[in-house]
Chains A and B, each alone.
Chain A
Amino acid sequence: MSVKTPSRLEKILAAGNLAVTSECGPPRGSDPEVITQKAELIKDHVDAVNITDNQTSVTRMCSLAACIRLKLMGLEPILQMVTRDRNRIALQSDILGAASFDISNILCLSGDHQSFGDCAAGQNVHDIDSMQLIQTVRRMRDEGKFIGGDDIKRPPRMFVGAAANPFADPFEIRVPRLAKKIAAGVEFVQTQCIYNLAKFEAWMKQVVDRGLHEKVHILAGLTPFKSAGMARYMKNRVPGMDVPDEMVKRMAGRPKEDQAQEGIDICVESAQRLKEVEGVAGFHVMAIEWEEKVPEIVERAGLYPRPAAA
């Protein structure tokens, strides 16, 4: 895959290196330090940092502003953008705004339903969906065209990503769904947190059998458990999450004070196993409000130091 954008993430993946991304959730307030401090914790251990877009539909500082903060620090942000809150005018407008700061990665998502957040009485937009957002960014970049057909002066140069959830139902369309995103123009995907490694490997095998891993860079999603309680919560409460019983048992089998370390160990072991899986192009380490653990996970997984982008 030849490089089409100034994205460092794209260069690292194109060179065949395992990439590492992580994410920072913006604060529920306007203090820029929250985002810059989180970024400081992980900056030497990752190639790019996702900034979430009002995740779980809870109102926060906007992803674009937080991405600009990272950019000003000299880091590489990945702008997460959900189709829940903006129509096609606002989406294109924000893409141009991000491009004006030379933000060169975007992750196209539909977003959690607003009923999960702090504005359950609000409208959702969903003028276009995540696949159509992928198409839109690619068209803006590659053809220099707005959705309406007009030319864009200085088109955005963004490496286009999306999410993939190998564990949601129905399982039989999870690979066709990835194929569909590839047809829409996606260039990298970050997967849902992987706890059921066998199921992920079964999904990857189908991906490889169809040759899809040669058309898209797949970053395996990892989130360390902080506690047995978190493992149970993820298993029972988070839609589209697959946490095997034995993993909950393993966490619960440790004394409370050792559970956090057990969670990190599981995460590192998962990374080590998944590194060997054909088609895995890197890792997306989502240490939710636990960014300080990202360096340990990356180092112990043998993913440090990070390569310099060519």
Chain B
Amino acid sequence: MIVADRKPMEEVIEEIRDFKNILVLGCNECVTVCEAGGKKEVGVLASALRMYFLKREQEGSPAVSISEHTLERQCDHEYLEEIRQDMDRYDAVVSLACGVGVQFMAEKYNDTPIYPGVNTCFMGATEERGVWTERCQGCGQCILASTGGICPIARCAKRLLNGPCGGSTAGSCEISKDTDCAWQLIINRLEALGRMDEYETLSPLKDWSTDRAGGPRKVVREDLKS
């Protein structure tokens, strides 16, 4: 899933401080699983904002209305259309979806400002409640077949294709004892699979044109296009 983390309240307030009718919009997909932008987090943020703006109102500022809603997905035309009839009621939206959802909203509702309520972090998995870690950087040319199913591009701090570097210590990366050395994991895995002989195969220079380096990417499936 796409893992996101909540933006600090102060940053969200700074984004929307001059608006009167604000929608906090959640997404029922990845950000719900990582507890950053689902229905529950929409409720928590909306309540906190209401309290903040109520206090401001008591100090003499105009009233601010905070509404809340959560869509099935913000990265899908169909679900974004669901709120079209209500959009003229809002003069700003705080989207708790990932960066994809925020942008899709902005494209859809051209004359309404859309602000991000989360920081989109990475593609990863839940290690345990409250801990998410990165697994994939979407390089567009998967090499997991040759690395024991562990990605050095996403998980080695130097994305070495022929690691580990000399900084690998007791299973940890040189950048932090709390970060696993991806190449230690790869070697452990190759050992478990009885495939250690593959370690000595040189990995060639990678074609990064399918990665971010190649510019904005697009997948087109002619067989599916209508």
**What chain B residues lie within 8 Å of A110 (beta carbons)?**
158, 160, 165
**What chain A residues lie within 8 Å of B184 (beta carbons)?**
169-170
A180 within 8 A of B: yes
Most A C-beta atoms less than 10 A away, residue of B166, B175, B200: B166
Contact of B170 among A126, A169, A179, A183 (CB under 8 A): A169
Cβ of A241 to closest chain B Cβ, rounded Å? 9
Contact of B168 among A111, A116, A130, A169 (CB under 8 A): A169
Contact of A129 among B157, B161, B174, B208 (CB under 8 A): B161
- Give Cα A100 to B223, complex, Å: 53
- Give Cα A49 to B160, complex, Å: 27
Q: A168-B168, A180-B202 known; A240 and B174 CB under 8 Å?
A: yes
**A residues touching B (Cβ–Cβ < 8 Å)?**
83-84, 88, 110-113, 115-116, 124, 126-132, 135-136, 147, 163, 165, 168-170, 172-173, 176-177, 179-180, 183-184, 192, 239-240
- Give Cα A183 to B170, complex, Å: 27
**What chain B residues lie within 8 Å of A180 (beta carbons)?**
162, 199-200, 202
Q: A168-B167, A170-B184, A170-B187 known; A179 and B157 CB under 8 Å?
A: no
Cβ of A272 to closest chain B Cβ, rounded Å? 26
| CB–CB B175/A163 < 8 A | no
- Give Cα A168 to B181, complex, Å: 11
**What chain B residues lie within 8 Å of A169 (beta carbons)?**
164, 168-171, 181, 184
Cβ of A197 to closest chain B Cβ, rounded Å? 18
Cβ of B193 to closest chain A Cβ, rounded Å? 15
| CB–CB B202/A113 < 8 A | no
Contact of A179 among B158, B175, B181, B200 (CB under 8 A): B200
B195 within 8 A of A: no
B43 within 8 A of A: no
**What chain A residues lie within 8 Å of B166 (beta carbons)?**
163, 165, 168, 192, 239-240
Contact of B162 among A129, A147, A170, A192 (CB under 8 A): A129
B159 within 8 A of A: yes
B145 within 8 A of A: no
| CB–CB B167/A112 < 8 A | yes
**What chain A residues lie within 8 Å of B169 (beta carbons)?**
168-169, 239-240
- Give Cα A228 to B80, complex, Å: 66
| CB–CB A183/B159 < 8 A | no
- Give Cα A126 to B187, complex, Å: 21
| CB–CB A135/B187 < 8 A | no
**What chain A residues lie within 8 Å of B203 (beta carbons)?**
131-132
Question: Could you show 19 A-B contacts with beta carbons less than 8 Å apart?
Answer: A83-B158, A84-B158, A110-B160, A113-B157, A113-B158, A115-B175, A116-B174, A131-B202, A132-B204, A135-B205, A147-B205, A165-B166, A169-B184, A172-B187, A173-B199, A176-B196, A176-B199, A239-B167, A239-B174
